[in-house]
Every structure is written in C-alpha cells, then in structure tokens.
Chain A
Amino acid sequence: MSYYLLLSRSITHAQRMSRTLERAGITARFFRPPMGLTDRGCSYAVRIGGDYLSAAMDCLRREGLAPMRIFRAAGDGSFSEITM
C-alpha cells in the first residue's frame, strides 16, 4: 500500500500537521521517519494514505503548515522525494 511522508521541521510542527489533517478527516500519524530521509539528523514526519496527498497539502497550506519535504513510499520499502 502506498503512502506519503510529510517531513516536518520539529515535533511541534508535526503535531500541528497531524492534528490539522485529522480534523479534516485525513488519517495522519506523526512519528520518527527513517534517518536516511533527513540530511540534518533527527526529524519528525506525518504519514498519510496514498490517495490523500492533494487534499492534505491544500489543507496544510491553508493553515500555514506546509511540510519541509514530501516522500512517496513504494511497495518495496523505498522512498522517493516528490515536489509539489
């Protein structure tokens, strides 16, 4: 199952992204992403389902909470960065 990781700059940012998306009806859990996705060390990310990226981004932009980077998870466990 594909999903997206929305990288945040801090745990507070991740929490606010997660809460905002949940309020909009988008399941969004924040957690520590794999270290390999971050070039400056520990970070947080919000995971959302593969069908919700566009709606999630609209919602986050409206709240001024855009993620720092976005990754798509493939079925084999690899990640690729995408731009929007």
Chain B
Amino acid sequence: MQPHLHWPAGLSFYFRVLLPICQERSAMIYFDSAATTLQKPASVPAAVADAIHTMTTPGRGDHPAARLAADLMLRCRMEAAALFDVPQPENVILTSNATHALNIAIRSLVSPGDTVAVSGYEHNAVTRPLRDIGGVVCRIVNGRLFDPRQMAEGFRRAVSGGVKAAICTHTSNVFGYTLPIEEIAAICREKGVPLIVDASQSAGIQPVSLRRWGAAYVAMPGHKGLYGPQGTGLLLCGEGQTPRPLLAGGTGSLSRQQEMPDFLPDRLEAGTQNVHGAAGLLAGIQFVRSQGLEKIRQKEGEVIRALASGLEGREDFRVFADPAGGGSVLSVLPLQEAPETLADRLAEQGVAVRSGLHCAPLAHRTAGTEDTGTLRFSASVFNTPEEAEMVLRIL
C-alpha cells in the first residue's frame, strides 16, 4: 500500500517545508565535515532508500530480502577491505560509529591496572573508555603540533616494558595534524605492542593500511570522510586478535551455543544490523574509491590552504596551520572575540563551523588551547576555494 500523500498536500508540503530546506542547504557554506559530512554523493541517499524498500536482515531468513541484505553487507565489507588493505572481509566489522569501534578495541586489549601509551592528541572516544576501565595508567606522548619526528621519538620512549597497548589518532580532529603513524606502527611492531589507530579523520582522505601497519585494530566512522550515513562505522581487526564483544545476542549462527561465536564478523555483530546504513556506507566508500584519495586530499587541501593563507599574518587570529600544507582541517583562535561568538556570527551568515574543545580536551591541553578552545574549519571534497574566499570576506 502506498503512503497517503494526496497531491495538494504533497505539493504544499514540498513548497512549505522541503523547498526552503533545500534552498537553505544550497546556500550554506559547510565547513564542519570533521564532525559529519553534510553533502553526500547522490548515490548515498539513493542506496539507503533502495535498501529500506528491498532489504531485511542477513543471517536470519533465507528469502530474497534477506539474501539481498547479506549480499550488501558482504560487498560493504569487501569494498572497505579493498580501501583499507584488510586481508579478509570478515575482519571488517560494521559498528554504529568510531566510538563504538574504539570501545571494542580498547576493552579487548586493556584491563584495569594496565599501562598504555597514547598520543597527546586523542579524542574523548579514546580517553573516556580508558578512564571507564579504571586504574589504567596512561603514558601520554606529548609533542609539538606538526612535529611528527618529536611524536615518533616520544612513542619510542613510551612504548616499552609493561605497556599493554599503544593508541594513536591518525589525524587530530582539532588541528588536522597527521601523526607519523607509519613510524609509530613500526615501533609497536618492533616492540611487540598492539596498536590501536583512530582513523576517524583520515579514513577516506589519507591512505589507511591495516596490513602494512600491522595494527591490532583500526577504528573509523562512516559519516565523515567516507560520506556514509550517521550510525555507521567500521572496526578493522588485525590478524590473530580475539576481540571482546561489547554486546552479546543473536547472530543467526551457532544458535544452540550460548557463548558468542569465536569467529568474525559474528562475534562482534550481535542483534539486527544497520543494513540500510551499510547500504549508504557502501555507496560512500565506492564514491571515495572512484574519486581517489589523492584527488580528495588535493581538493580539500586547496580549500584549507586558501583559508589559512587568508588568515595568517592577521593580528586578530592565531592560526594553527600545518607548515607542510594540505590537510582537511584548520583550527584558528580569534583573539578579539570568543570562538563561540564568531561561530555564531558565521552561522548567521550561512557558514557552518565548529567551536569549543571538539571533544578532545587532551589535544587542546597538548597544544595550549584548553582554556579557549578553537574555531575549526573542516572541508570535504564538495568544498571549493571560492567558498573559502567568501568566508574570508566575512571574517
């Protein structure tokens, strides 16, 4: 049965509600993609809508709707495995976000009283689970912003006897600083310490390789650089890991057994999965692969460089720009008004940015901006240098 939407009511709804929203959206300059990308490839909502109408849950029934869902989930795992260099698609776990994935990874490796090494640029998605476990000793590797050599040296000192795991963000969500993850991964491999990488800001932008890094886990959201819907995320599990499930329940497999299955992905995917979200995520990952990471980095870097060069040298801003250029994120500190006030003023003029601590007080402590926070511009592949110029004119 079709929805009861009569034409007059439908047209009225379109002109009263939908059209203004669409006009407002197209007028908005959106620079908050490090939180969530707003502009998605057209294939993403189309895939979600198609899945809602055609797919149920894999691993339960064996009818066409369930089989379509199973096919979709496998293709999503395979596409992610190809992008992130994961040897087996089974080791790609669908989660509800990066925080969910990080919680699984951290709670699988860290127990009360353990010592861990973490970078000084971690998000609360890392630091809060560590606090929640209780009695965990954190060796925080502090290093100057945009000084990867110092960070690598710090990890070499911190990852030593008794450290149960190293946890490192690939790219800081506050400053867009990409940490020397290749070197840090090599140090962890050399010392036999499992590594957890938070790829929340790098997935879909920077090369991420589970295999080359030899990481125990890599966590990422689906709704940022992968252009998927909110409520999606991925946990990539390294070979030989036995992750601890956060949830126990039905998996459609080994139903007589009361322990969770010991194989992936079932071990970590209890309950009905977000197949509709996975459909959007698959379309998002396909979009990223079709664009190519280099092109995405180049486009986003061009926009961020335009913003940075427009603000550098001004006396009313402190600019935290990567001297190497590029990146998808730029934090600035306005010196004549609070970041929140400026963010509000920008929002009134149709520019979406984020102010505050960005859920990463540790990163602000490390960079010396804990008392003020920063105002953050974060780009997606849909931003243009012209938009950066428009923002600079407002500022």
Structural contact, B254 and A43, CB atoms closer than 8 A: yes
Cβ 8 A contact of A42, one of B73, B77, B255: B255
In angstroms, Cα B75 to Cα A16, docked, is: 10
Interface residues of B in 42-74 (CB under 8 A from A): 58-59, 62, 70-71, 73-74
Cβ 8 A contact of A9, one of B73, B77, B261: B261
Structural contact, A12 and B254, CB atoms closer than 8 A: no
Q: Is the interface of B mostly helix, strand, loop or mixed?
A: loop
Q: Which residues of B contact A43 (CB under 8 A)?
A: 253-254
Query: Contacts A9-B263, A16-B89 known; A40 to B254 CB distance under 8 Å?
Result: yes
Structural contact, A12 and B62, CB atoms closer than 8 A: no
Query: Contacts A31-B62, A40-B256, A42-B253 known; A10 to B74 CB distance under 8 Å?
Result: no
Structural contact, A41 and B256, CB atoms closer than 8 A: yes
Structural contact, A12 and B90, CB atoms closer than 8 A: yes
In angstroms, Cα B90 to Cα A64, docked, is: 12
A15 contacts B by Cβ under 8 Å: yes
In angstroms, Cα B265 to Cα A9, docked, is: 11
Residues 1-40 of A, flagged 1 when their CB comes within 8 A of B and 0 if not, give: 0000000011111011001000000000001100000011
Structural contact, A15 and B257, CB atoms closer than 8 A: no
Q: Which residues of A contact B256 (CB under 8 A)?
A: 39-41
In angstroms, Cα B256 to Cα A42, docked, is: 8
Q: How many of chain A's residues touch chain B, expressed as a range?
A: 10 to 19
Query: Contacts A15-B70, A15-B71, A16-B89 known; A9 to B253 CB distance under 8 Å?
Result: yes
Structural contact, A11 and B89, CB atoms closer than 8 A: no
Interface residues of A in 33-65 (CB under 8 A from B): 39-44, 64
In angstroms, Cα B88 to Cα A39, docked, is: 26
Structural contact, B255 and A41, CB atoms closer than 8 A: yes
Structural contact, A13 and B90, CB atoms closer than 8 A: yes
Q: Which residues of A contact B88 (CB under 8 A)?
A: 64
Cβ 8 A contact of B252, one of A11, A16, A31: A11
B198 contacts A by Cβ under 8 Å: no
Interface residues of B in 162-191 (CB under 8 A from A): none
B32 contacts A by Cβ under 8 Å: no
Closest to B59 in A: A11
In angstroms, Cα B261 to Cα A9, docked, is: 9
Structural contact, A42 and B62, CB atoms closer than 8 A: no
Structural contact, A10 and B62, CB atoms closer than 8 A: no
In angstroms, Cα B53 to Cα A40, docked, is: 33
Q: Which residues of A contact B302 (CB under 8 A)?
A: none
In angstroms, Cα B212 to Cα A27, docked, is: 35
Structural contact, A12 and B261, CB atoms closer than 8 A: no
B266 contacts A by Cβ under 8 Å: yes
In angstroms, Cα B253 to Cα A39, docked, is: 11
Structural contact, A15 and B74, CB atoms closer than 8 A: yes
9 contacts between A and B (CB under 8 A): A10-B90, A10-B261, A10-B263, A11-B70, A11-B253, A12-B265, A41-B253, A42-B59, A42-B254
- Which 3 A/B pairs are nearest by Cβ-Cβ distance? A41-B255, A41-B256, A42-B255
